[in-house]
Amino acid sequence: MKSVTVIGLGPMGQAMAGAYLDSGYEVTVWNRTPARADQLVARGARRAESVEAALTANELVVLSLIDYDAMDAILAQAPEAALAGRTLANLTSDTPERARQAAARLAERGAVQITGGVQVPPPGIGTPDAMTYYSGPGDAIEAHRPALEVLTGIEYLGEDHGLAALYYQVGIDMFWTSLVGYLHGQAVAEANGISAEDFLPHAVKTMDLRYFLEFYAPRIAAGNHEGDVDRISMGVASMEHVLRTTQASGVDDSLPAAVLKIFRQGVTAGHGQNSLTSLIDVMKQRRSRG
């Protein structure tokens, strides 16, 4: 019998446990709020009465929690012996360093961690194009590949546990900042009588950044920040117009003001005639000064 334990039944954990049930797995579930397991139990899942029971029910344990603090608090409820021989597919979001630290602690307790960063929202679990970044022991991932692929495809990044977390956080950085940019633009649009439905086709075209990413990436890799297509000085003027439009619309201006500040820092650093991509060097210099 194919079997797995899922600990953490938020929207993502619910989707994962459901995907396993749909695939004929025997699924054991545990959540700090037991009632969250009710619908899954009604579908055939087994409710573990304790963290220890959840861990010892199966060799493969999928963790879907808000962060590693939550993971540590949950695993502390079980004796160390409950982790011995287990493989934990840790799909919990946190920093690369915390992923490495958690893997080391689990290894001391006889468990193996597979670090993962899921690249789809809960409705995407089990769909053909879904993908998850994984890092950690390659043999452990291969041993559990069929079970992991019930959830998503696998993009293996290497043995370093921090890699999956790093790729995930970089992607989330881009994801949230892009969506907040969309929401800010929509706030300005609505302040001027343009509904979300009316602006949608224009937003979709604007947010399709593939051309720019594919144009910039090889230049960044080559260290080529030539201002032959765009210049930071142009960005300053453009963001000043955005800022004034935002203010005239009565919308909070903190987001465009922050972007304008970054552009101006680029000019101050002597990159005014260089491409937008030279801001990467400005951002890294700020890190080194810190």
Integer-rounded Cα Rg, in Å, for the chain is 23
User: Domain 166-289 adopts which CATH fold?
Assistant: N-(1-d-carboxylethyl)-l-norvaline Dehydrogenase; domain 2 (1.10.1040)
pLDDT surpassing 90 at residue 288:
no
pLDDT in tens, 70-124: 999 999 999 999 999 999 999 999 999 999 999 999 999 999 999 999 999 999 9
**Residues sharing a CB contact under 8 Å with residue 170, sequence separation 6 or more, in sequence order:** none
Strand ranges (E), 84-156: 87-90, 112-118, 131-135, 153-156
Average pLDDT of span 219-237: 96
Name residue 88's beta-bridge partners.
Answer: 61, 113
H or E element in which residue 212 lies: helix 210-222
Give the strand pairing for 3-7 and 26-30.
parallel
CATH 3.40.50.720 fits domain 3-160: yes
Domain boundaries, the chain: 3-160, 166-289
pLDDT band at 285 (very low <50, low <70, confident <90, very high): confident
